[in-house]
Structure 1
């Protein structure tokens, strides 16, 4: 697939946390667009994508000179009160372009110096382990949330073929944990999985966040419905999994192995601290 890359000079990086992210003072997106191009991504039906006029996953804006801007904004915002940051809400901070561009790494370098009160790094990419040195500097002020929607890689390939394999994400969680980085797994959105899923996760993570299309797409499932995701479930013979109560199957399995307080649902699981 040909990707249309553009370099943009952002006017601002820290955006006020609202809606699903109202528990955060700010959200931070190192890129606009995401070349993982997951079929179920709710951003496909948001203005940032709709007004672009191009297929989600085929374009990417790279926010150049971001570090200097973030340094300035962080100093300003910290004077106003606690700064809690969700990175990222509408892009993956460790998508393939980050290998070369290192925008996310440059932002972490700033945050290691001018530390926010809390930073959640949301990704599905093993590349995050490259920045263990910087994440360690943030101590308990950071948590890495790794998306692992299923333990079945054949399911992953149907819904997000350009995203990293499940095994690579599990290995990354193990490395982060060994390095002392606070981590969690985000089963978000819930995809069909097996009864062995909890056993796969237990050695590598303590916190489990479960979210689905109906709670987490920002429109009570309407955005996902417009994407035709239900058809994919039916084609694969998993129509029972496309249901507002399906997440409870995964939650019940997780709670058989994890203490109740370590299994969190939707917005609660992404909350700071």
Structure 2
């Protein structure tokens, strides 16, 4: 499906960290909208999506002049205190359009020049590997969090057919870690996975975050239920994976492989 693009000139880029991201001073979204269009995305129920006539996943707004704007806002914010940035809260900074527009890369270039106290990069895209050169310059002031909801490709296709393949994400984690970029694997939201999933992750990372719809959608699961995600589980005959206790399946499996201090649950795994 072709993505409809709009080019806009935002008045601001850095937004105050609130709610689930209250431990961050700011959130930063290089784009509005996300062409991955995952079925379970909580942003589908937020005003940025509901106020648009087009279906979530079919449109992306590209923020023009983002680097120049961030340079000004970052300098101003640092003058007021500690700056910790979550990128991104309502889009994927490395969705396909980033290949050509390079808005995210331009923002990283600004942050290399004038580093925030901490930058958390949340993505599910192997494209983040392109920016290893910049990420390394941020040293321990950055962490890349790669979403890997499952190790089962057929499950991934069922819930998020437009998202990158699981194998490509795992390979990217390996490349980032080998290069020396701080990384974590983020199993969020938890989708049905195999018993071997923790072993696959253990070979790549020493930090894993586990989150689900009920802890992580900002509404105790209400937003997710309104999307009818339970029906997608039923289609696979895996209804038991859509419950408040399902996270224990994955969490307990991880504990058999990872030390407990390398496993983070929900909000603590995203904290600066």
Q: TM-score surpassing 0.5?
A: yes
CA apart distance, 1:4: 1.2
| TM-score, scaled to structure 1 | 0.99
CA apart distance, 1:212: 0.3
Query: Which position in structure 2 is the counterpart of 1:200?
Result: 200
Query: Which position in structure 1 is the counterpart of 2:47?
Result: 47
- Aligned alpha-carbon RMSD (Å): 0.5
Is residue 60 from structure 1 mapped to residue 60 from structure 2 by the alignment? yes
What CA deviation, in whole Å up to 9, does each residue of 1:250-271 have, x standing for no partner?
0000011101111010000000
CA apart distance, 1:220: 0.5
| Partner SS for 1:99 | helix
Is residue 220 from structure 1 mapped to residue 220 from structure 2 by the alignment? yes
CA apart distance, 1:53: 1.6
Give the distance between the partners of 2:257 and 2:250, measured in 1 at CA: 11
| Partner SS for 1:195 | coil
Is residue 166 from structure 1 mapped to residue 163 from structure 2 by the alignment? no
| TM-score, scaled to structure 2 | 0.99
Give the distance between the partners of 1:145 and 1:236, measured in 2 at CA: 28
Unpaired segments ≥5 residues, structure 1: none
What CA deviation, in whole Å up to 9, does each residue of 1:184-241 have, x standing for no partner?
0110000000100011101111110000000111111010001100001011010000
Query: Which position in structure 2 is the counterpart of 1:266?
Result: 266
Is residue 79 from structure 1 mapped to residue 113 from structure 2 by the alignment? no
Give the distance between the partners of 1:53 and 1:238, measured in 2 at CA: 32
Give the distance between the partners of 1:190 and 1:3, measured in 2 at CA: 27
| Partner SS for 2:144 | strand
The count of corresponding residues between Structure 1 and Structure 2 is 272
Give the distance between the partners of 2:41 and 2:218, measured in 1 at CA: 11
Is residue 139 from structure 1 mapped to residue 139 from structure 2 by the alignment? yes
The ranges of structure 1 where at least 4 consecutive aligned residues each deviate by more than 6 angstroms after the TM superposition are: none
Give the distance between the partners of 1:166 and 1:208, measured in 2 at CA: 16
| Partner SS for 1:135 | helix
Query: Which position in structure 1 is the counterpart of 2:232?
Result: 232
Give the distance between the partners of 2:187 and 2:66, measured in 1 at CA: 30
Unpaired segments ≥5 residues, structure 2: none
Query: Which position in structure 2 is the counterpart of 1:176?
Result: 176
CA apart distance, 1:2: 2.6
Query: Which position in structure 2 is the counterpart of 1:100?
Result: 100
CA apart distance, 1:162: 0.5
Give the distance between the partners of 1:74 and 1:114, measured in 2 at CA: 8
Query: Which position in structure 2 is the counterpart of 1:185?
Result: 185
Give the distance between the partners of 1:46 and 1:207, measured in 2 at CA: 30
CA apart distance, 1:64: 0.8
CA apart distance, 1:73: 0.5
